[in-house]
Amino acid sequence: MLTHHRKPVCLSMISTDLPVWSVVETSGTLYQKDTDRFHLLLTAPPLITCEVGNLLTSEDPQTLPKKHIHTPSSPRILWLEISPYRITMTMQGNTQVSYRHSWEQGVYGVSRYWLPNECLQPSKPIRLRNFTNLLHLTGKNIPEHLRIEYELWSEKLQLGRYILNLEIHH
């Protein structure tokens, strides 16, 4: 039962207690795997970073001096595996960082981050835990809106509370 639809998508992630936010508006391809399982594939624009002295930060490009803006050349591919009970999101194709998050309501999931490695050996992922407080998916035949509220943890240290919001327009 593999069918696909090309749809406009808005994916946002914000922290409720840290100055972290990101919004991606693009087109995505939604693949229906079976009755309530979908895969969403989208390409996000490259990250824009700013070098300030020895500090590297992500900023709004309009507020930065033009000579300090660096844009990686490879696109970021986001792949979401969507079901009413579990969501997995993978970002790959960026030479700077890759990650994979798995969320399931009321469960500690795993978040893995792969950072660039200067040597030729493959790098080991940084493993964090996430606790999903809310996983809410709406839409009649295909997903229209997804909201995930979660906490990110490293051992006993909470690294923030986050909201991931996905809108698939028809």
Closest Cα partner for 86 from 53, 37, 125?
A: 37
What integer pLDDT is reported at residue 49 of this predicted model? 54
Tell whether the model's pLDDT for residue 169 goes beyond 70. yes
- What is the domain partition of the chain in residue ranges? 3-168
pLDDT > 70? residue 102: yes
What pTM, to 2 d.p., does this model score? 0.80
Name the pairing type of β-strands 87-92 and 49-52.
unpaired
Q: Which CATH architecture has domain 3-168?
A: Beta Barrel (2.40)
Residue 69 scores a pLDDT above 80: no
Q: How confident is the model at residue 68 (pLDDT cuts 50, 70, 90)?
A: very low
Report whether pLDDT(67) > 90. no
Q: Distance between CA 100 and CA 98 in Å, rounded?
A: 7
pLDDT at res. 63: 52
CA distance readout (Å), 140 to 28, 35, 79, 132, 166: 18, 11, 21, 23, 16
Q: How far is CA 151 from the centre of its chain?
A: 14
36-57 per-position pLDDT tens digit: 999 999 987 665 554 544 444 4
For residue 5, what pLDDT is reported?
A: 84
- Of 131, 121, 138, nearest to 154 (Cα)? 131
What's the pLDDT score for residue 116? 75
